[in-house]
A and B are shown apart, each in its own frame.
Chain A
Amino acid sequence: MLSGEQLLKQAFSEVAAIKYGQVPEYRHIFSLRYRIRKHKLLRSLERKTAPEPRAHTGRFRLKYLVLAIIMACVLVLAGVTGFYIVNGFKFTTKPTHTLVLTTGWEDAPEFIEQRYSIDVPEEYSIYREETDSSLIYFIEYRNNDTFIRFEQYTKKSFNATYNTEGYDYEEIDDGRIKGFYIRWEDYGALVWDNGDYVLEIKSTLSKEETIELAKTARIR
């Protein structure tokens, strides 16, 4: 047998569940300003909760340094991996793929503050547009079996992996577009650094057409 207080609590719980169900959930897309503030808040929590680095003695540090150098030499000599920098991108090659990062993002915006767009041919229409966070934005256009996908990253967040098993990338520098291009069987990717952001076009278009398209990139 429930007491009066317990009956009341049960009733409160049931009423709260009904009231909670009545609170609307709008299909709202949160603004960039909100997302930046949210991101900063969560990132601050990460910094706060990051584990303290372990204090190593000089002997330990030297041991790990020597070990790291030996391993790096072995791997490079074996042709397993290596890295080099082209047009501000750092390429780390693996047997089947290549990791690409940017270098020197200190002066670049931490978040996407201004979105870029490109002038796609008229026959293409927007297929989807998404932003995962205030760090990445992409828009995809389609025309039957062909597509153009334009992506924008903050320089710090750009971290891409490309299939380079049997394919290679080439350096692009025509004065305006400075980056690299890689072509697979069906489509290619042009990646360049415009100073503030890393922009990328993945498309079924030819390399030349993609470069021409890249030149139309401007702030929306």
Chain B
Amino acid sequence: MLSIYLSMVETDEQRTFIEQLYKTYERKMYGAAFDILHNKHDAEDAVHSAFVRIIENIEKIIQIPADKQGYYIVIISRNISIDICRKKNNSEMPIENIDEIEDRISFDDVIDSRLTAESIRKCIFSLRESDFEVLYLNLLCELPAADIAGILAIKPTTVSQRIYKAKKRLIKIIEEQKC
């Protein structure tokens, strides 16, 4: 199984990149995992699985600007930890079988001069964590649904749906803030 992932690491540049990620983010990833799992061994498993997934998606991750990599990698670690937690509790992910959503939502019409930078931040802080993460990957890291699906190991259609719903929820929060 591992060899399949590793076959995607083709260059010295990519290997050095992985080593650098270990040095920089390993403890942060462990912290994120431990906060969810509350178990050292499971948290270490999550960090290891996160690195395997990073290698699996190396072509995409290497494109992410350095200043956005930290939280991006924490998202991977957190999501894997949540999966481990779900498996341990034998709880299934809800099956979402919804057709691809055509996402035409633009925030240019929603965010106007009535909103300050502080009030926008406040709205973002009000988002639930899963909404924040998917919007972070989509809006800030500019990843399409298919790439996010690879990172979070879920269906692209599910990602599209999550992005759409998260945007809707954010717009609702912003509109409420304006009032």
Contact = CB atoms under 8 A, between A and B. Distances in A.
B159 interface: no
A41 B27 CA distance: 17
Interface stretch (A23-31, A166-174, A185-193): A23-31
A98 B59 CA distance: 45
Given A25-B31, A42-B18, A49 B132 contact: no
Interface residues of A, number: 34
A31 B40 contact: yes
Q: How would you classify the secondary structure of chain A's contact residues: helix, strand, loop or mixed?
A: helix
Interface of A: 3-5, 7-17, 19-20, 23-26, 28, 30-31, 33-34, 37-38, 41-42, 44-46, 48-49
Nearest to A17: B71
Residue of A4, A24, A30 with most partner-chain B CB within 10 A: A4
Nearest to A24: B31
Contacts, number: 119
A13 B120 CA distance: 12
B2 A44 contact: yes
Given A12-B140, A31-B44, A34-B47, A44 B117 contact: no
A9 B139 contact: yes
Contacts of B117: 7, 10-11, 14
Interface stretch (B82-90, B101-109, B148-156): B101-109
